[in-house]
Structure formats: C-alpha cells, structure tokens
Amino acid sequence: MDKNKFVENIKILREEYKKWNAPIVTLISVQTKDPYKVLISTLLSLRTKDDVTAKASYRLFEKADTPERMIKLSEDEIQKLIFPVGFYKTKAKTIIETSQILIDKYDSKVPDSLDVLLDFKGVGRKTANLVLSLGYGQDTICVDTHVHRISNRWGAVSTKTPEETEFALMEKIPKKYWSEINDLMVAFGQTICRPIGPKCGECKVKDCPARKK
C-alpha cells in the first residue's frame, strides 16, 4: 500500500471513527487536558483492556489527580484502586516513583521531551509518544499493537516490531497525519479490524490485502 492509499484510508477511518468509542486515554486527554493524567492512564493501559483501564483510571483520579496527592497514597491503596489492570502491583509502584520524580525534578510537570520521558521507568516509545501527542499536541506516531498489526495487515509496512513500524510510518506518512493514527487505528482495531475475526464485511477501508484473501 503506497502513501496515498494509506492517507485515503486514514481519512476513511476519520469518518467511521464517529461511530466508535474513543480509546480511554484519548477520552481522558479530552476531558482533562492534563499530561499527568494522560501519562498515568497510559501506564495503566499497558497489557490491559480499555474498559478495565477506564474504570481503574477514574477510581484512581478520584483519590489522587496530581503527583502531590498521588504520593500520599500507599502502594497498597493504589493497588486496590487500579486492580485488575495487568501487572497492577508493579504499576502501583511505578506510579508512586514516577510521581515522586516529577515533584523532585520537574516541578510536578510531565516533561514534553521524548528523550526525557524515555528515562522514566516503565515508559517506552509508545507511552512517551502518546503523552506528547495527547498531552502536548505534538506530531508523534504512537504505535501500539493495533497500529503495528493493522499497518502490516494493510501492507503499508513490513515490520516485525512496533518500533520498526513507527519509524517506517514516519518515513512514509505526512507529518500532519501522525498524531491521529493511533487514535483512529486503536478504535478501528477494537471495533472492526480485530486480530481474530475481523469484521471485513463492515469495513470501509479500500485495497486491504487481508480482505481480498
């Protein structure tokens, strides 16, 4: 799939997106405009379904919505608030450590630099790029399992890892589309282009090699 067809599909997803539920981290970013909540909810979302992430995030933010309030909670309290997200014990510890670092080194503000964010424990390129995109409006491509899988399913890239997909898409796709790719493809991947049992009969995307099989 060449660049023009990929962009055409993104425009199709943009229209279809109106029918779908927004990913929870996107919803939190729209509701709060708070990079800290985007960061924490993204950490919670790793290896966790969106509905579980949503409930855990809202429970946690009701108790603590700033780094200062977060560190006043014990690790056990956070575990109970975020359960049953994946690796909830590790994530509770990471949330406290991250909040403390933000207080100590960054005046309680989430950094708006990719390199700095990548130094935080538990923050990979996916998380960092999502924080920069949703929290700060920067042009970044956040590649999670949906973006990686769908980009390869479309034949837009031929990559083995999400990081390879990120750099391949950066080379291929105009920058003005970068920040919306994750939002659209996650909703598309959860609703239509599922990993198992994709709803090809409901899909509006054109020139998909997987659908032709």
Name the residue type at position 86.
Answer: G
Mean per-residue pLDDT of the chain: 95
Which stretch of 17-21, 155-159, 172-176, 203-207 has the lowest confidence by average pLDDT?
203-207
For residue 211, the model assigns a pLDDT of: 75
Q: For Cα atoms 32, 120, 27, give the angle at the middle one, nearest 5 degrees.
A: 20
Q: What is the mean pLDDT of residues 84-95?
A: 97
For residue 206, the model assigns a pLDDT of: 83
For residue 213, the model assigns a pLDDT of: 53
Q: What whole-number distance in Å separates Cα of residue 153 and Cα of residue 83?
A: 33
Burial class (CB in 10 A: 0-12, 13-18, 19+), 29: buried
The alpha carbon of 150 is separated from its chain's Cα centroid by a whole number of angstroms, namely 15
pLDDT tens-digit map of 111-136? 999 999 999 999 999 999 999 999 99
DSSP 47: T
The two structure tokens encoding residue 105? 């080194």
% of residues, the chain, pLDDT over 90: 94
Burial class (CB in 10 A: 0-12, 13-18, 19+), 8: middle
The two structure tokens encoding residue 74? 């014990």
The two structure tokens encoding residue 5? 């067809």
Domains by residue range for the chain, with CATH: 3-21+140-212 (1.10.1670.10), 24-136 (1.10.340.30)
Q: Is the dihedral of CA 78, 83, 88, 94 positive or negative?
A: negative
Q: What is the mean pLDDT of residues 1-12?
A: 92
Q: What is the mean pLDDT of residues 40-44?
A: 97
DSSP 194: -
pLDDT above 70 for 212: no
Burial class (CB in 10 A: 0-12, 13-18, 19+), 107: exposed
Full-model pTM = 0.92
Name the residue type at position 167.
Answer: F
pLDDT above 90 for 37: yes
Q: What whole-number distance in Å separates Cα of residue 128 and Cα of residue 114?
A: 6
Is the CB of residue 143 less than 8 Å from the CB of residue 125? yes
pLDDT above 60 for 36: yes
Q: What whole-number distance in Å separates Cα of residue 50 and Cα of residue 103?
A: 28
pLDDT band at 98 (very low <50, low <70, confident <90, very high): very high
pLDDT above 90 for 210: no
pLDDT band at 29 (very low <50, low <70, confident <90, very high): very high
For residue 207, the model assigns a pLDDT of: 83
The terminus-to-terminus CA distance of the chain in angstroms comes to: 16
Q: What whole-number distance in Å separates Cα of residue 39 and Cα of residue 126?
A: 11
